[in-house]
Amino acid sequence: MATLVQVRAEVESVYKRESRRILATLIRLLGDFDLAEEAMHEAFFVAVERWQRDGIPASPRAWLVSTGRFKAIDGLRRRARFDRSQTQLMMALEARQEDEVTDQELEDDRLRLIFTCCHPALAADAQVPLTLREVCDLTTEEIARAFLQSPATIAQRIVRAKAKIRDARIPYQVPSLAELPERLDSVLRVIYLVFNEGYSASSGDNLMRNDLSDEAIRLGRLLQQLLPDPEVLGLLALMLLQASRQAARSDENGDLILLDQQDRSLWNRALIAEGSQLVQQALRSQQLGVYSLQAAIAAVHAEAASAEQTDWEEIVGLYDVLLRGWPSPVVELNRAAALARRDGPQAGLLAVEAILARGQLQDYHLAHSARAELCRQLGRLDQARDAYRTALGLTSQGAERRFIERRLSEL
């Protein structure tokens, strides 16, 4: 029989690994976000006692879904004695109580949940925060940082979106092929933001959260099977090409290593080959989109033997195309970094300072880090120090803070 310590460790491990899949399935079964969340937490609480007594089940995830559904029905049965409005919901759930939940349903539930959260009936500015909170378990604070919004604003959007799904009885399903295109942009944006949070965590000591980036890639593959649209291919390619560098992005202490200094022998060649093939497939469609163009840029980096051998001319050209179709100060900042490699640090600095002079990216630490680095290369050390200090004050990410502090120390 497992000890209490062993059972608690297993429950914690299952929670970390499976809780969002379990929640997604419970939302489908119960039809209510808050009820599903309450049921899931009750199921994990019960697991500590039951698993110590009866042993850890062969399929912990299925056990937790079943227990969570039973706990929700039991709770509704008690409430129905005092609130008759709960009776109909309780009876509907009881009628479905014996339905088996297959492994495939458990796997697909997160994709169903994403499409529910990105339903066109929901406010556009609520779709992505709701998905990041419910599907990926990002905190309200993490989502707020990703959107440069206050946590209170993000929390309000999430609450309103949940209420809309409940009151409008928005179906929990992947839309038909005819409905899919109008829902695709939001879904792609969600998956991309999930990947970004995993690839470069917005807070905490660790530079990366591989659980999130791996989940984003899994969702991208599911979406590709459902709809092999050029932009779906482009997004999956972009994520694979970025993920190929994960092993080289930090040292044994978890400290950040910039692209130029990375050991390229550590890059995952299988992911690069798969990503490059998807890029070519997306570009052959001649339907250039924001993700396929970014993937093309990532492919140029991935195929270069070193930073010096990178085709910076092609990268700047691809950024020019991207900016014409999808203007963005962040894309402009990335183009400035490429311009500095092609034309020298002075050209890059002028481009970065033009963005900041317009009042854009003033709260974005990477803009000030880029300015600091270019000033350092030009020997403008006082300006470099000031810009690094500004960047330091704008980030709470441990690895990035340590990197900036090292740069300041060197100066």
Question: Residue 106 and residue 99: Cα distance in Å, rounded?
Answer: 13
Token representation of residue 188: 């792609």
Do 1 and 15 meet the contact criterion of CB atoms below 8 Å apart?
no
399-406's contacts with Cβ under 8 Å and 24+ in sequence apart are 399/205, 399/206, 399/207, 399/250, 399/254, 399/255, 399/256, 400/207, 400/256, 400/365, 402/255, 402/256, 403/255, 403/256, 404/369, 406/255
What does 97-134 look like in DSSP terms, one character per residue? TT----HHHHHHHHHHHHHHHT-TTS-HHHHHHHHHHH
CA torsion 213-219-225-229 (nearest 10°) is -80
pLDDT score, position 110: 78
Contact 138, 20 (CB under 8 A): no
338 falls within a domain: yes
**Which of 46, 71, 101 represents a domain boundary (last residue)?**
101
| 272's tokens | 């690069």
* Boundaries of domain holding 379: 327-411
87 token code pair: 């009776």
- Amino acid 20: pLDDT: 86
Mean pLDDT by 10 residues, the chain (411 residues): 84 90 88 89 93 90 91 77 54 51 61 85 88 84 78 94 90 77 82 85 73 85 83 96 94 88 95 96 90 97 93 97 95 96 97 96 95 96 96 90 93 89
Q: What is the DSSP letter of 302?
A: H
Domain closes at, from 101, 132, 161: 101
Can you give the length of the chain in residues? 411
Q: How far is CA 396 from CA 137, 207, 364, 406, in A?
A: 19, 11, 12, 15
Q: Which long-range contacts (CB under 8 A, 24 or more apart) does 249-254 make?
A: 249/207, 249/208, 250/207, 250/208, 250/399, 254/205, 254/206, 254/207, 254/398, 254/399
- 403 belongs to a structural domain: yes
In the prediction, which pLDDT does 335 show? 97
Are 257 and 249 in contact, with CB atoms under 8 Å apart?
yes
Q: Are 348 and 356 in contact (CB under 8 A)?
A: no
Q: Supply the pLDDT for residue 142.
A: 80
Token pair in block for residue 8: 């608690």
User: 135 — phi, psi (to 5°)?
Assistant: -85, -35
- Block residue for tokens 């559904």: 69
User: Is 401:388 a contact under the CB 8 Å cutoff?
Assistant: no
What CATH number does the domain containing 81 carry?
1.10.1740
DSSP category for residue 32: -
What is the DSSP-derived secondary structure letter of residue 174? P
Q: Is 31 a domain residue?
A: yes
Q: Is 114 contained in some domain?
A: no
Residue 11 lies in a domain: yes
pLDDT of residue 369: 96
CATH number at residue 332: 1.25.40.10
C-alpha to C-alpha distance for 247 and 240, rounded to whole angstroms: 13
Which DSSP string corresponds to 182-242? HHHHHHHHHHHHHHHHHHS-SEES-S--HHHHHHHHHHHHHHHHH---HHHHHHHHHHHHH
3-class DSSP state for residue 397? strand
Q: Among 75, 101, 127, identify where a domain stops.
A: 101
- Does residue 73 lie within any of the structural domains? yes
Predicted local distance difference test score (pLDDT) of residue 211: 78
Q: Give the total number of structural domains in the chain.
A: 2
